[in-house]
Structures are given as C-alpha cells and as structure tokens.
C-alpha cells in the first residue's frame, strides 16, 4: 500500500480513541496461540465491575486473504474476510454477523500516494451506501464522506474534515452532522515513547447551541501504573453563561481520585472520591461518582433565566436542618404556604416523604443516611435549576454532607436554615415517640442520643425556639420569606447575572 493520506475515518481518530477509551476495566486476560499453518487462536476474558465477558477469535491467513471469526458471550459470530491487493493498491473487506443476517457489508478501499477512497455497501436489498475520500499527504489531508439510502433516496450523512499529523502531535477539524456541528481536537505526545499524551477537544452543535470542551491527559508510568484524567467543560455561551466542570483521574496502584465540579465561572467546588481497582465503591456526599467518558452535558436553549422569568422568581434551595422534633417539617409547610400566598412556586422535599419513593431502598445505616442526603441534594439542585424554590427538610446531621449539597448550587442559591432547638425541648415534644424508643435502646444510631449532630457554623438563617411550646409558625416562616425578599429571590429581575465576569 502507498504511504499517502489515511482514510477519512482516521481524521481525529487518535484523539477520539484516547478520549473514549475505558480506563476502568478491572481485569483483562488474553491468551494467543499460533500454528505453522497460519492459524491463530486468541481467547479474551474481561471482568468489569460485576460484569464478565469473553470472546474467542480465530484468524487464518492464506496468500492475500485473512479470515477472522469471533464468537462472544452472546453467541454472536462475527466473520470478517479481508483481501489485499486484489487490484493494485486495493483492499476488499467482507463482514457479517450470525444470527443477524442483515448485518453483512462489503467495503472496498483504494490507496494512492495522494488519495484514499472507500466505498461501503450493506449486503441486502436497497442497501445503504457510504463513500469517503481523502486527498493530501501523510502530514496534511482533506477529506469528506457521504451516506446514501437507496430505499428512501436520501442522504443519511455528509461530513468533511482536515487533519495535520506530526511525529509528536496531530490536529483535526471535522464538520459533521450534515453541517450542524463542528469539532476540533489536538493531541500532543508528552514523551518519545508516546506512552503519555495530552488531548484537547472543542465541540459545538449549532442547532442546540451546545458547547463542550474536553481536556484529557494520559500517562503510563511504570512506578504507579496507568493514570488518566478527564476534564469536561460544557459552557452554554448563551444568556445564562453556565459552566459545568469536572475532572477525574484513576490510578491502578493507588485507588484514589480527584474530581472538580463547579457551576458558573465565579465558583468552583472541590470533591474527593475513592475509586477501587477490583470493586466498585459508591461515592458518599462530598464525593462524586466517576462520569463515563462517553457521557457529555447537553445544554438546552431554554435557560434557567428563561424559566425564572416565566414564573417571576429565582430558583434556590432552602435547606432546613436540626434535630428531630425541632420543627423542620412544620416550618417547611408554613413557609410553602406563605410563598403560595405571595404567588410563588415552591416544593418540599421532606426527609420522611422521600423515603417513601426516591430513597425507599435505603436503610438507616450511616452509609445509607449519607446517600439519602446526597440524593436529596441532587434533586433539590434540579428544582432550583427549574426556577422553583425548593424547601428541603432533613435532619442532615453532618456538616460535610450539607457542605457537599451546598457546593452543587451557584453561590448564594443554597440557603441553610438552622432550627436551633435544644435537645431537651425536642425530646419533650417527641411527636413521633422516637426519642423514647431511642432511650429504651429500640433505635440505634438516633441523632442526638447515640449519634452526634453537628450544628452549622455559618448558616444563612438561625431560628431559635428555646421554649417548650412552639413559636408561631407564621412568624418563623416570615423570617425566611423576608430573607428571600431582601436577596431578590421573589422577583425575576434578580435572575439577571453579571456576564462581565
């Protein structure tokens, strides 16, 4: 074959492969055997989390033909036959799957010193036909591709791209999705052995104004094993100017990782997560789950500002915390009523209510209680993004867990309300009889009895109710309403952000 430009599918492929490669496979085992007759047999087994997969591949080479047969755990048989030099500088590839009889296709590739052309057709009636072509040199090449459906007589795709390749770097720009998207990528090898690389990718979809920036670094260091980190930035360059940022890394020898996530360019929050090599460990509040490299943040043309202007208020989370019996749920209901009377939309996430559905699978063990808080925090964030005033009413005894929920929202949109009620007052009320049962040893790990409560050190609102009888709920609700009013949450004008930062 000539040493000309690569195929159109090679444009941006190196960067894409590094960005989408799965670096979290737990175990992979492969055995290959070869015979003098040209037959090679390869068996591969993979364990990823709790999923096991295996396949067997047989390869036979005869003159200018290569036969590959692969059988996987789903009993799918993939057969590929490759013929090289059937004509000068030409390769033909035939492939099909069993039992999927409609999966067969024929591909013909032609290579020249300054061009590469491919034509692919499905082996069925009224097939789909794909044609690609590239022109240039091994250093710089221009290419295009088109897909045509012979049954509907319509083009299924038409894309174009340009690629520049150097020994230590490569760059590409691809106009895809029938001209609706553009993607630019750059890969730079950090050492001569090409075992370490840094990648940057910028993607924009014009029809939805979706913008994604991906930064990636991969290192294969003998001392610590493999290390990979991804950073996804999805800014909506429209009116809201939101920024979503996350960064993760993984090490095969040291099961630790770092992840950053922030919203808006003026605030960046830090999380730390634990990752295991041989088993999955769920991240607790204050930590985050690893985001798969194939998942991107999809922005919507209707922004948070648009939703807030529609209902004339600013979305936020009012997080009411305190001991059991301190009046959290009562305040939440009174506050919701007060906001309703003002024509403002709110919703209550009550600690008991969410355990009837969303968190019904969680127990009251420490790790499940932490997960309960994390889930409520994520749901509350969605309510706030919808422009709704979300009232979360939970004991939430840990400062760390509350801080993690606060970090999910833009600066100022998490309003912590501490029901500062002494334990003896809460125990005297005991509306559910839980303190009595905890004192009798029937309930273990009850907050305030044999499990500590960490009061807020710097919350937005403190409501003290040190008397044995309840203070007026309407008065307590008015304290919160006044705070919302003074800080602009009860009118849409306050949602306009300063875009100069």
> Residue 215 in contact with residue 234, Cβ under 8 Å?
no
**Locate tokens 């890969």: which residue?**
187
User: What is the Cα–Cα distance from 379 to 355, expressed in whole angstroms?
Assistant: 13
For residue 100, give both structure tokens.
């999927």
DSSP secondary structure, 412-436, as one string: T-EEEEEEE--HHHHHHH-TTSHHH
Q: What distance lies between CA 208 and its chain's CA centroid?
A: 19
Beta-bridge mates of residue 215: 200, 231
**In angstroms, what CA-CA distances link 301 with 81, 212, 244, 304, 313?**
47, 15, 16, 10, 19
443 burial level (CB within 10 Å; 0-12, 13-18, 19+):
middle
The burial of 87, by beta-carbon neighbours within 10 Å (0-12 exposed, 13-18 middle, 19 or more buried), is given as exposed
The sheet with strand 389-393 has its strands ordered as 346-350, 389-393, 316-321, 414-420, 461-464
Neighbours of 34 (CB within 10 A): 11
From the list 332, 343, 313, the residue with the least C-alpha distance to 491 is 313
Residue 288, token pair as written in the block: 């985050």
| Cα angle for residues 164, 166, 168 (degrees, 5° grid) | 130
3-state SS assignment for residue 57: strand
Query: Which backbone phi and psi does 358 adopt, to 5 degrees?
Result: -50, -45
Rounded alpha-carbon distances, angstroms, from residue 166 to 47, 114, 116, 139, 187: 36, 17, 19, 6, 10
From the list 141, 172, 393, 396, the catalytic residue is: 396
Rounded (10°) angle between helices 328-341 and 473-486? 60
| Catalytic residue status for 396 | yes
Residues recognised as catalytic = 396
């Amino acid at each position: 074959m000539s040493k000309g430009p690569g195929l159109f599918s090679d444009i941006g492929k190196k960067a894409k492969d590094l960005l989408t490669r799965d670096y979290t496979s737990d175990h992979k085992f492969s055995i290959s055997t070869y015979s003098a007759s040209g037959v090679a047999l390869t068996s591969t087994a993979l364990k990823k989390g709790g999923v096991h997969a295996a396949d067997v591949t047989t390869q036979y080479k005869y003159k200018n033909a290569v036969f590959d047969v692969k059988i996987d755990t789903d009993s799918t048989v993939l057969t590929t036959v490759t013929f090289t030099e059937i004509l000068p500088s030409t390769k033909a590839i035939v492939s099909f799957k069993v039992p999927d009889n409609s999966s067969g296709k024929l591909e013909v590739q032609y290579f020249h010193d300054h061009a590469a052309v491919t034509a692919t057709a499905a082996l069925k009636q009224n097939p789909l036909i794909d044609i690609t072509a590239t022109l240039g040199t091994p250093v710089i090449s221009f290419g295009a591709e088109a897909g045509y459906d012979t049954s509907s007589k319509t083009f299924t795709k038409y894309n174009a791209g340009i690629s520049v390749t150097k020994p230590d770097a490569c760059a590409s720009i691809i106009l895809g999705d029938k001209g609706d998207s553009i993607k630019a990528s750059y890969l730079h090898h950090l050492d001569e052995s090409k075992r370490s690389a840094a990648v940057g990718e910028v993607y924009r979809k014009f029809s939805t104004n979706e913008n994604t920036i991906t930064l990636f670094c991969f290192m294969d260091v003998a001392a610590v094993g493999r290390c990979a980190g991804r950073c996804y930035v999805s800014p909506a360059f429209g009116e809201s100017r939101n920024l979503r940022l996350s960064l993760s890394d993984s090490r095969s020898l040291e099961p630790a990782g770092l992840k950053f996530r922030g919203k808006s360019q003026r605030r960046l929050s830090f999380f730390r997560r634990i990752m295991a090599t041989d088993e999955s460990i769920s991240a607790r509040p204050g930590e985050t789950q690893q985001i798969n490299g194939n998942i991107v943040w999809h922005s919507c043309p209707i922004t948070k500002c648009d939703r807030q202007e529609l209902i004339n208020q600013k979305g936020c989370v009012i997080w009411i915390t305190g001991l059991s019996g301190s009046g959290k749920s009562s305040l939440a209901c009174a506050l919701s009523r007060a906001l309703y009377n003002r024509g403002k939309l709110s919703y209550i996430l009550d600690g008991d209510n969410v355990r009837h559905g969303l968190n019904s699978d969680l127990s009251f063990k420490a790790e499940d209680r932490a997960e309960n808080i994390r889930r409520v925090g994520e749901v509350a964030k969605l309510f706030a993004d919808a422009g709704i005033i979300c009232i979360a009413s939970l004991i939430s005894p840990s400062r760390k867990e509350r801080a993690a929920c606060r970090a999910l929202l833009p600066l100022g949109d998490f309003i912590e309300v501490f029901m500062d009620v002494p334990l003896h007052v809460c125990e005297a009320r005991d509306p559910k009889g839980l303190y009595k049962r905890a004192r009798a040893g029937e309930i273990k790990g009850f907050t305030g009895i044999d499990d500590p409560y960490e009061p807020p050190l710097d919350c937005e609102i403190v409501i003290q109710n040190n008397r044995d009888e309840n203070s007026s709920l309407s008065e307590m609700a008015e304290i919160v309403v006044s705070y919302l009013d003074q800080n602009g949450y009860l009118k849409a004008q306050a949602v306009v952000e300063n875009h100069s930062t």
